[in-house]
Amino acid sequence: MEHWSFPVSYDDSYLPDRDARYWFPERETLNAGAREEAIVRRLREVMTYAWERAPFYRRKWDEAGVHPDHITSLEAFERVPVVTKAELRASQAAHPPFGDYLCIPPHAVHHIHGTSGTTGQPTTFGIGRDDWRAVANNHARILWAMGLRPGDRVFVAAIFSLYLGSWGVMLGAERLGCQVFPFGAGAGGMTARAASWLAAMGADGFYATPSYALHLAEVARAEGYDPRDFGLKTMLFSGEPGASIPGIRDRIAEAFGARVFDCGTMAEMTPFMSAGGTLNGGSGMLLWQDMVYHEVCDPENFVRVPYGAQGTPVYTHLERTSQPMIRLFSGDLTHWANGPSPCGRTYPSLPDGVYGRIDDMFQVRGENIYPSEIDKVLNSLDGYAGEHRVIISRESAMDELLVRVEAAGGDAFAPACAASLRKVLGVRARVEVVAPGTFPRTDFKARRVIDDRALFRDMAAPS
């Protein structure tokens, strides 16, 4: 397959013909059986590489009785134990700063990124120079598949910090030969300035979170602009569910008059766009299995579920040499389907994207509920004004679900919304309508669920 070696060596000057559908025609249209054989060979190579260089993996696999030579099939690979974020944090605490799964000398680290640490100890990403180039080439391929071409202007409206999303898109766009507009986000008043810049200069491509795109459309209109006049043709999103949810995707497409693409896995798995949508590929995301090997697994035993079934993604780098992730457990929730795609590529797909997290699920009166299900219902309703909050509380022994919704539908909105929620969720939800603009908008991931049941238990407990 084109340029598929380990370690990889890409030609940074290569570009397909401008009208070509594929960046690498052979790799992207290979039949499933041949691709799986190639992936098995690569998995052995990657595991051997890590076995020889990373005490973390050698120790973990020794304990599990697994050796790289045992990987003779994808089924055999399922015996390899998954890696959790907690294990990565423990490794870095014991072997700072990069952990004992770093497979290059520390002085060879080219870029340092990481998590914010807002929910615990931060994780440090040490990325080698060759890996940085490989990410650029991989992301350029995916941006090409979304319809972007050399010379297009790409507006990056995400925070430039330790967060890898903005950097990853910028890398791919630069490699593709685009004009890159690294606008960023996060400071007060920046959204109004973004609208002003887009109105003045226009752009072909745009990257942010779905929440931010909807916020930008609101602010742009308030500033006197029509978002459709920005000229955007390709909008890609990551960081939160939304771009694969029909109601949200359609609202963004209608607001800007652009094509909307979902992408993204985990920052640890950069090239995180290895799950990404394509032009003429339908909804959801393709799994670019020659960049990262994606499995959708039963979260109890981490064995792959059949196509069509729901599970949690487990990811393995096939090209990273600095901090390769080998069977990283995501904790996300999705279902997958077999290829080929309408775009002609033969990868499997996530038809509805990644639509939740296992630990985001909450139970109300015995029903499992994911926040993305509520998002999907609200975004399908006329009158929904773009934001909401979900409050879970408990009165006596009964869980209560309250959805506060920004809406402009008058008295008729609340009962219609409650009926739609009950039909989808299977439980009664009380709906309270509030004025548009009540809830703050965000430049980053939206947090909409408030669970007050623990507070109720604490108050009700005997002293």
**Length of the chain counted residue by residue:** 463
The CATH class, in words, for 361-460 is alpha beta
Q: Are 145 and 276 in contact (CB under 8 A)?
A: yes
pLDDT digits (tens, 9 = 90+) for 252-262: 999 999 999 99
Please report the pLDDT score of residue 394 as a whole number. 66
Please report the pLDDT score of residue 118 as a whole number. 44
Please report the pLDDT score of residue 358 as a whole number. 81
Mean pLDDT over each residue of the chain, to the nearest integer: 91
Question: Does the N-terminal peptide bond of residue 340 adopt cis geometry, omega within 30 degrees of 0?
Answer: yes
**Amino acid symbol at 207:** Y
Residue 400 pLDDT class (50, 70, 90 cuts): confident
Cβ density class 182-195: b for 16+ within 10 Å, e for less: bbbbeeeebbeebb
Q: pTM to 2 decimals?
A: 0.83
Residue with the larger pLDDT of the pair 318 and 358: 318
Q: What is the 8-class DSSP label of residue 98?
A: T
DSSP state letters, 198-267: HHHH--SEEEE-HHHHHHHHHHHHHTT--GGGG---EEEE-SSTTTTSHHHHHHHHHHHT-EEEEB---G
Question: Does the N-terminal peptide bond of residue 415 adopt cis geometry, omega within 30 degrees of 0?
Answer: no
Cα–Cα distances (Å) from 428 to 180, 265, 315, 404, 419, in that order, read 48, 33, 37, 14, 8
Token code pair at residue 460: 């009700």
Please report the pLDDT score of residue 453 as a whole number. 56
Residue 211 pLDDT class (50, 70, 90 cuts): confident
Please tell me the distance from the alpha carbon of residue 431 to that of residue 454, in angstroms, as a whole number.
Answer: 22
Q: What is the mean pLDDT of residues 439-459?
A: 65
Residue 409 pLDDT class (50, 70, 90 cuts): low
Q: What is the mean pLDDT of residues 319-323?
A: 97
Please report the pLDDT score of residue 116 as a whole number. 58
Please report the pLDDT score of residue 151 as a whole number. 98
Cβ density class 342-371: b for 16+ within 10 Å, e for less: ebebbbbbbebbbbbbeebebebeeeebbb
Q: What is the mean pLDDT of residues 402-423?
A: 89
Q: What is the mean pLDDT of residues 22-26?
A: 97
**Cα 150 from chain centre:** 25
pLDDT digits (tens, 9 = 90+) for 233-247: 999 999 888 899 888
Q: What is the CATH number of domain 1-354?
A: 3.40.50.12780
Query: pLDDT at residue 338 above 80?
Result: yes
pLDDT digits (tens, 9 = 90+) for 117-159: 544 577 899 999 999 999 999 999 999 999 999 999 999 999 8
Residue 369 pLDDT class (50, 70, 90 cuts): confident
Q: Are 302 and 314 in contact (CB under 8 A)?
A: yes
Rounded to 5 degrees, what are φ and ψ at 390?
A: -110, 120
Please report the pLDDT score of residue 455 as a whole number. 42
Q: What is the mean pLDDT of residues 82-97?
A: 96
- The 3-class SS string of 106-140 reads HHHEEEEEECCCCCCCCCEEEEEHHHHHHHHHHHH
Please tell me the distance from the alpha carbon of residue 135 to that of residue 131, in angstroms, as a whole number.
Answer: 6
Pairing of strands 285-287, 398-407: unpaired
DSSP state letters, 185-196: --STTHHHHHHH
Helix (H) or strand (E) holding 2: none
Residue with the larger pLDDT of the pair 447 and 155: 155
pLDDT digits (tens, 9 = 90+) for 159-173: 898 889 999 999 999
Helix (H) or strand (E) holding 378: helix 371-379
Pairing of strands 109-114, 234-237: unpaired
* CATH 3.30.300.30 residue spans of the chain: 361-460
pLDDT digits (tens, 9 = 90+) for 248-305: 899 999 999 999 999 999 999 999 999 999 999 998 999 999 999 999 999 999 999 9
Token code pair at residue 421: 């929620």
Share of the chain above pLDDT 90, in %: 75
Q: What is the mean pLDDT of residues 197-217?
A: 95
Please report the pLDDT score of residue 444 as a whole number. 63
Query: pLDDT at residue 459 above 60?
Result: no
Helix ranges restricted to H, 146-189 = 164-176
